[in-house]
Amino acid sequence: MSSVHKDSKRDLILKAASMIVHEEGVERLTLEAVAKKAGISKGGLLYHFPNKEELISGMIEKLSRDYVTELGERVELDANHHGKWTRAYVASSDQCVEGVFDPSTALTAALFSNPQMLKSMQDEYAVIQEKLADDGIDPVRATIIRLAVDGLWFAEMFGLAPPNGELKQQVIEQLRTWTKEEK
Check residue 75 and give its pLDDT: 96
98 pLDDT above the threshold of 70: no
Q: What is the CA radius of gyration of the chain?
A: 18
122 pLDDT above the threshold of 70: yes
Check residue 7 and give its pLDDT: 55
Provide the pLDDT confidence category of residue 8 given band limits of 50, 70 and 90: confident
CATH of 3-178, one of 1.10.357.10, 3.30.70.580, 3.40.50.620, 1.10.340.30: 1.10.357.10
What are the CA-CA distances from residue 180 to residues 36, 79, 128, 131 (Å)?
Answer: 48, 12, 18, 16
What whole-number percentage of the chain has pLDDT above 70? Answer: 91
Check residue 157 and give its pLDDT: 82
Structural domain boundaries in the chain:
3-178
The whole-angstrom separation of Cα 26 and Cα 30 is 9
Which residues fall within 8 angstroms of residue 108, CB to CB, at 6 or more apart?
A: 21, 26
Mean pLDDT of the chain: 89
3 pLDDT above the threshold of 50: no
Check residue 1 and give its pLDDT: 38
182 pLDDT above the threshold of 70: no
96 pLDDT above the threshold of 50: yes
The reported pTM is 0.82
In 3D space, the residue among 13, 4, 14, 6 whose CA is nearest the CA of residue 103 turns out to be 14
Over the stretch 41-64, which tens digit does the pLDDT of each residue have?
Answer: 999 999 999 999 999 999 999 888
70-79: average pLDDT: 94
CB–CB of 38/47 below 8 Å?
no
